[in-house]
A and B are shown apart, each in its own frame.
Chain A
C-alpha cells in the first residue's frame, strides 16, 4: 500500500505536469496560429497604413488567439509592425496598453526595401507538477509580404 501511494504520487505529478504542459502546448499553438493568421490578414488589408490600421491587425491577432491574448492574460504582448524601407510603423500592446515605438517587432533578415508585415504574439504559461511549478514565456513571430498599397 505504501509503495502504491508513493508510485501514485509520482504518477499524479507526471499526470498534472503532462496536463499543464499540454495546456501550454495548446496555448503556444493558439498564439502561433494567431500571429500567422494576423500577418496573412494584414498582408491583404488595404491602407492607408496608420495607427488605426495597426490596431485592426492587433485586434485580429487577439481575436484569433481564442482568449490567450486577452489583456488580462499574464505576460500578454502583441506587436504589429509595417516595414517600408527605412520607415516602420508599429504598435505594441502590453496587457492591453498600446504604444507606438515605430520599430520592427523583430529582425527578420528580409531585404530592407521589401514591404512587409510583422506580428508577434506573446503570452505566459505555467507548468505545474504539484511540488513545483515554472513559468514559461511563449512567443510566436510571423512575417508576411504586404500585398496592397
Chain B
C-alpha cells in the first residue's frame, strides 16, 4: 500500500523542533539577558555602597584606607565574592596628588577596580550609561582628591544563548562618590580634637561651658530656626580613662550644657531641675565607647560625672559616628598635601609633630594661606616692607601708663624681646611680634583693621599676656601664633575684643595657633569674640569670673578645662564659622 500523500507522521518532531528553537531563543533572551540585567542592577548597588564607604576614608584617612574599605564593602555586599586581597591597596598614596592610582582585583567572574583620586578627565567621570555623552563637571563634583571610584565588571556564562552562539555576556558598572562637609549642618560650637586622652573636656570648680543653640540658615543665608548647639569630643578614651572620662565633671556645681530648640527630653531627664526650655537640648557627641550616658560605671570611658553621679552634662553624651578631625579647618585655610616636619628647635610647625603630616583631600590647587603667611614673615629678623617699632620708629619697648597714646598706620615689626604696653597703642596694619607681649595696668593694645582691608598679626615667639584691667583688641585681624607662643589672659574688669576678618583668605579666622602650650583664657568685663579660634595642639584653660561671657566664636582646641565661677557661653554665627558638620557622601557618577 502506498503511503498516503500528506501523512502527518514525523510532523510533530518538526513542530517540536521549531517550538524548541523558539522556546530556547525566547529563554535565551529572557534568562540570559535578564541575568545580565540582574548582574548590572546588583553590581551597581554594590559599587554605590563601596564607593560611599571608601570616600569617607579618602577624606579622613588616606588612599590606602579608602581602597581597603571600598573593597571590603564589595565583599560584604556580594553573594559570590568571599574575601578580597587588599595588598595592592598599599600602592595608594598617603598624600593625594594629581597622579591617579588604581587597584584591580579578580575574584571569580568579577573584576573590581578602585580608583583614587578620580581626575576630572577620568573615564569614570563619564556617565555610567553605555554610549552616553561625557557628563559635564559640576561644582558638586568636588575635587579629585575627594572622589573615589569603584568599577565592577561581571562575566556570566550563557545558559541558553550558547545555542545561539553567545557563550557569555559581560556587564560593567561604576560609581564615583565624593564626600564633603554638609554645609547645611550647624557648626560645632566647641570641638576638642584630642584623639585618645582623658578629660578632653574637664569642667571643675564651679566652672561652666555652655553652648547656645545655633541659628540655622538655608542656602541663601536666611534664618530657618534654631539648630542644636554641639559640644564634640573626638577622643576615643583609650588612654585609660576609667576614673576620669573623656568628658569629666568634677564637684557639684560644674556645668557642661548644650542648648537647642525645645526638646521633649528636656524636663525631668537632667540633674539640674531649674533648666528652662531649650536648655540641655543640644548635643554632646564623643567618639569614646560607653556612650550614651554619663554613669560613672556604665558609661566610662566616655563620661564621668561630678558629685558621685549627681552632676551630669546636659544632655548626656552620645556616640560620634566617626572622628571629626581638624581637616575642615585645614581645608579652608591651609590645605597642604604634605606638611614637612620642622627642623628641631625652630618655631614654625604646622602641625607641631614629628614626621611629615598630611591632611587627606589636600593637594595641588588647594589653599595654603597659613603656609604662605609663615613664608612671608620668616622666622626671625626684620620683615620685608615692615617698619621696626624700636629701631626705626624709636618707640620704647616698655611703655608707661603716662606715655602719650600712639597711633600708627603701617605694617610694623615689633623688634622687642619683651614689649609692654601700659598706655594706649593703636596700630592699623599688619604686625609681627618678635617676643613677649604684655598689656598691663589699664593699657590698651589695639590692632584695628576694621576700616580698611583685613589684617593679620604674627607671634613668632613668647607670651601674649593681658592683665585683668587691661584692654586688648584685634579687630578684623587674624592672629597666627607659633609653636612657642602662649596666650595668658587674666580675668578682671578689662576688655577683650577679638574679631576675625570678614573677607579674603582668612575670612572668619580669628586665631590659628600651632602651640602645644596651655592657652589661658579668662572672663572679662567686656568680651567680644567672633570667628574661629583654632588651637589644635593646645589645652585651653578657661577660668571665668562670675556671670556669663558671651562669645560669638567657634572654639576648636586639643582639649579644654573650664574652672572658676563663671560660664563661657559659646555661640558661633553660622556665617562666621567653619562648617564642621558631618561628612556627606554624594554619588556623582
Residues of A within 8 A of B (CB): 3-4, 7, 11, 14-15, 18, 22, 25, 29, 32-33, 36-37, 39-40, 43-44, 47-48, 84-86, 108-110, 115, 141-149
Q: Are A3's CB and B52's CB within 8 A?
A: no
A118 nearest CB across to chain B (Å): 9
Q: Are B34's CB and A148's CB within 8 A?
A: no
Contact residue among A3, A22, A144 (Cβ-Cβ distance under 8 Å from B49) = A144
Q: Are B318's CB and A48's CB within 8 A?
A: yes
A149 and B283 alpha carbons, distance in the complex (Å) = 10
Chain B hits for A149, CB < 8 A: 285, 318-322, 582
Q: Apart from A25-B38, A142-B49, list 10 A-B contacts with CB within 8 A.
A: A29-B42, A36-B46, A47-B318, A109-B72, A110-B76, A142-B45, A143-B76, A145-B49, A146-B321, A148-B582
Chain A hits for B75, CB < 8 A: 109
Chain B hits for A11, CB < 8 A: 16, 19, 23
Chain A hits for B27, CB < 8 A: 18
A113 nearest CB across to chain B (Å): 8
Residue of chain B at shortest CB distance from A107: B76
A128 and B292 alpha carbons, distance in the complex (Å) = 52
Asked whether A145 and B73 contact (CB < 8 A) given A39-B49, A84-B319, the answer is yes
Chain A hits for B31, CB < 8 A: 18, 22
Q: Does B69 touch A at the CB level, under 8 Å?
A: yes
Contact with A along B21-53 (1 / 0, CB 8 A): 001000100110010001001100110110011
A36 nearest CB across to chain B (Å): 4
Q: Does B77 touch A at the CB level, under 8 Å?
A: yes
Q: Are B318's CB and A143's CB within 8 A?
A: no
Q: Are B48's CB and A3's CB within 8 A?
A: no
Q: Does B205 touch A at the CB level, under 8 Å?
A: no
Chain B interface, >50% SS class: helix
A140 nearest CB across to chain B (Å): 8
Asked whether A29 and B41 contact (CB < 8 A) given A18-B27, A86-B289, the answer is yes
15 contacts between A and B (CB under 8 A): A3-B12, A4-B12, A22-B31, A29-B38, A36-B42, A48-B292, A48-B318, A85-B289, A86-B289, A108-B76, A110-B76, A144-B73, A145-B49, A145-B53, A149-B319
Q: Does B583 touch A at the CB level, under 8 Å?
A: yes
Contact with A along B557-589 (1 / 0, CB 8 A): 000000000000000000000000011110000
Asked whether A110 and B52 contact (CB < 8 A) given A36-B77, A84-B319, the answer is no
Residue of chain B at shortest CB distance from A87: B289
Q: Are B56's CB and A145's CB within 8 A?
A: yes
Q: Are B34's CB and A147's CB within 8 A?
A: no
A40 and B584 alpha carbons, distance in the complex (Å) = 12
A109 and B321 alpha carbons, distance in the complex (Å) = 19
Chain B hits for A43, CB < 8 A: 52
Asked whether A115 and B321 contact (CB < 8 A) given A18-B27, A40-B49, A144-B49, the answer is yes
Chain A hits for B73, CB < 8 A: 110, 143-145
Contact residue among B12, B42, B52 (Cβ-Cβ distance under 8 Å from A144) = B52
Q: Are A147's CB and B321's CB within 8 A?
A: yes
A43 and B318 alpha carbons, distance in the complex (Å) = 18
Residue of chain A at shortest CB distance from B285: A149
Q: Are B12's CB and A22's CB within 8 A?
A: no
A142 nearest CB across to chain B (Å): 6
A84 and B289 alpha carbons, distance in the complex (Å) = 9
Residue of chain A at shortest CB distance from B26: A18
Chain B hits for A33, CB < 8 A: 41, 45
A6 and B75 alpha carbons, distance in the complex (Å) = 47
Residue of chain A at shortest CB distance from B292: A48
Q: Are A36's CB and B322's CB within 8 A?
A: no
A7 and B585 alpha carbons, distance in the complex (Å) = 57
Interface size class of B (residues with CB under 8 A): 35 or more
Q: Which of B276-316 contact A (CB under 8 A)?
A: 285, 289, 292
A147 and B49 alpha carbons, distance in the complex (Å) = 11
Asked whether A40 and B52 contact (CB < 8 A) given A11-B19, A142-B77, A143-B73, the answer is yes
A115 and B285 alpha carbons, distance in the complex (Å) = 14
Q: Are A143's CB and B12's CB within 8 A?
A: no
B437 nearest CB across to chain A (Å): 40
Q: Which of B157-179 contact A (CB under 8 A)?
A: none
B160 nearest CB across to chain A (Å): 10
Chain B hits for A143, CB < 8 A: 49, 73, 76-77
A50 and B584 alpha carbons, distance in the complex (Å) = 21
Rank and list the top 9 A-B pairs by shortest CB-CB distance, nearest first: A149-B321, A145-B53, A36-B45, A4-B12, A143-B76, A108-B76, A115-B321, A149-B320, A144-B49
Residue of chain B at shortest CB distance from A29: B38
Residue of chain A at shortest CB distance from B179: A147
A90 nearest CB across to chain B (Å): 16
Contact residue among A18, A37, A109, A148 (Cβ-Cβ distance under 8 Å from B76) = A109
Q: Are B45's CB and A147's CB within 8 A?
A: no
Residue of chain A at shortest CB distance from B321: A149
Q: Are A40's CB and B30's CB within 8 A?
A: no
A81 nearest CB across to chain B (Å): 13
Chain A hits for B76, CB < 8 A: 108-110, 141, 143
A124 and B401 alpha carbons, distance in the complex (Å) = 89
- The residue among A22, A145, A146, A147 with the most chain B CB atoms within 10 A of its own CB is A145
A148 and B321 alpha carbons, distance in the complex (Å) = 6
Q: Are A25's CB and B34's CB within 8 A?
A: yes
Chain B hits for A18, CB < 8 A: 27, 30-31
Residue of chain B at shortest CB distance from A146: B321
A44 and B12 alpha carbons, distance in the complex (Å) = 61
Q: Are B289's CB and A147's CB within 8 A?
A: no
Chain B hits for A36, CB < 8 A: 42, 45-46, 48-49, 77
Q: Which of B324-371 contact A (CB under 8 A)?
A: none
- The residue among B31, B292, B319 with the most chain A CB atoms within 10 A of its own CB is B319
Chain B hits for A84, CB < 8 A: 319
A85 nearest CB across to chain B (Å): 6
Asked whether A147 and B77 contact (CB < 8 A) given A18-B27, A33-B45, the answer is no
Chain A hits for B16, CB < 8 A: 4, 7, 11
A33 and B584 alpha carbons, distance in the complex (Å) = 22
A66 nearest CB across to chain B (Å): 14
Contact residue among A14, A40, A85 (Cβ-Cβ distance under 8 Å from B48) = A40
A15 and B215 alpha carbons, distance in the complex (Å) = 65
Chain B hits for A110, CB < 8 A: 72-73, 76
A32 and B16 alpha carbons, distance in the complex (Å) = 37
B139 nearest CB across to chain A (Å): 21
Chain B hits for A48, CB < 8 A: 292, 318
Residue of chain B at shortest CB distance from A46: B582
A14 and B30 alpha carbons, distance in the complex (Å) = 14
A27 and B45 alpha carbons, distance in the complex (Å) = 17
A115 and B287 alpha carbons, distance in the complex (Å) = 11
